[in-house]
Structure 1
């Protein structure tokens, strides 16, 4: 197995992927802004990919504003693809999101679709791991739906997965063969109402949870299948209620 270059190595998933691969004895390059790599200007990218067999892309945008996030993923992915091709990288592994192609109202999802499209069109062998929303995002999701004493949630399902298990699957993909697009989800497909109740119970709070047909998920309308895995997905083991 050749060198593995991880871009976004200082992030939540990237740090864990680097630790997992290093612990297994792999030759890992941890590439991030703190290591002098800027994926938007391409500074340091060529050096980070020198002798790399695998590129792992777990980057995230510093801004979620529609135009900024699209510019980030489009520019970063173009720069990585160009450098990866020049370096002879044999496998491009990227982390994406389950439902990315079903939520065109979301600027972030549109940006991730642009990222996936660039990777798929690159000619590089690739694995795109689409994961459901992390356990670690649950409180933030509920906070966006909270108005005073009421939590207004969409009539939809979500399938939380632990970030640690996502990192494990990314690391596994990095040492495996390219398989195209695959999905990973948590063990339970639950309603947003149940998500809110779990979060509130953890905090010892008692707001009223209301299923509102007009409620959105970060501005996007969602339904029972928008954010959950389909047939053939890998299923993680850690339940939100137990994490």
Structure 2
């Protein structure tokens, strides 16, 4: 099968490309790093010739609401128009567990718009909603350090989370893209944590001399909107096991 991966150079996209290639599929990489601008409809149309399935794990360079929503909707329209012309059968988009419950948080507003735009424009739309990846605490810490003064504590939003191994996310995306009978799915990690505790443990594990303290969060996230319901399947190792295996 010929599979296109939008966002092929990112954390999830690179793993999807590798897994699909190892399974014998022909992979078409769609990212600026790989020479395709997803915001250019002509470039996307040219790249999707002969493609049977699209996996959209694209992410904007800016995370503010207006920029992110514009990026997501434009990419969805471009993938949809080119996909219909090329005869694409399925378009799989990556989203977030609880995204519809977290609409007081701008990134979740933009992500839900991404879902909706793919459903509206792309052929054979499927949605995979997952909890945050194991890499998420590290990403949060990096953003906090980037905005940190020369002294003082690092504030991390105090929210419950149930992180999942990104390798399991990539595997699920490939399964949905290649299975004619696939449907929307959700996926979570095996263990509930608090994000501030994970960041604190990560900083200590990496030998960083930091004081990590709980910070404010949106009402929905503080109330548990990031957590999966009991019906959501879990997969992969817990965050602490992942940390030791990746950073040991």
The answer to whether the 8 Å contact 2:79/2:122 transfers is: no
Partner of 1:139: 138
| Unmatched runs of 5 consecutive residues or more in structure 2 | 243-248
- After TM superposition, the structure 1 = structure 2 runs for residues 75-86 of structure 1, keeping only pairs within 5 Å, are 75-86=74-85
How many Å separate the matches in 2 of 1:9 and 1:205?
Answer: 31
- After TM superposition, the structure 1 = structure 2 runs for residues 105-184 of structure 1, keeping only pairs within 5 Å, are 105-122=104-121, 124-142=123-141, 150-177=153-180, 179-184=182-187
| SS of equivalent residue, structure 2 residue 5 | strand
TM-score by length of 1: 0.86
| SS of equivalent residue, structure 1 residue 69 | helix
Count matched residues. Answer: 238
After superposition, the Cα gap between the structure-2 partners of 1:151 and 1:21, relative to the gap in structure 1 and judged at 3 Å, is: same
Shift of 1:180: 4.0
Q: Structure 2 residue aligned with 1:200, among 180, 195, 203?
A: 203
Partner of 1:56: 55
Greater mean alpha carbon deviation, residues 4-13 or residues 177-186: 177-186
How many Å separate the matches in 2 of 1:157 and 1:177?
Answer: 35
Partner of 1:186: 189
| SS of equivalent residue, structure 2 residue 138 | helix
The answer to whether the 8 Å contact 1:126/1:178 transfers is: no
The answer to whether the 8 Å contact 1:36/1:44 transfers is: no
How many Å separate the matches in 1 of 2:12 and 2:192?
Answer: 22
Matched, 1:222 2:225: no
After superposition, the Cα gap between the structure-2 partners of 1:79 and 1:134, relative to the gap in structure 1 and judged at 3 Å, is: same
Partner of 2:96: 97
Shift of 1:25: 0.9
Partner of 1:73: 72
Shift of 1:204: 3.6
After superposition, the Cα gap between the structure-2 partners of 1:98 and 1:207, relative to the gap in structure 1 and judged at 3 Å, is: same
Partner of 1:14: 13
The answer to whether the 8 Å contact 1:184/1:233 transfers is: yes
After superposition, the Cα gap between the structure-2 partners of 1:144 and 1:49, relative to the gap in structure 1 and judged at 3 Å, is: closer
How many Å separate the matches in 2 of 1:143 and 1:89?
Answer: 38
Shift of 1:106: 2.2
After superposition, the Cα gap between the structure-2 partners of 1:120 and 1:180, relative to the gap in structure 1 and judged at 3 Å, is: farther
How many Å separate the matches in 2 of 1:94 and 1:144?
Answer: 25
| SS of equivalent residue, structure 1 residue 121 | helix
Partner of 1:242: 241
Greater mean alpha carbon deviation, residues 33-42 or residues 58-67: 33-42
How many Å separate the matches in 2 of 1:155 and 1:10?
Answer: 30
The answer to whether the 8 Å contact 2:39/2:75 transfers is: yes
How many Å separate the matches in 2 of 1:30 and 1:144?
Answer: 28
Partner of 1:33: 32
After superposition, the Cα gap between the structure-2 partners of 1:12 and 1:155, relative to the gap in structure 1 and judged at 3 Å, is: closer
RMSD (CA atoms) = 2.4
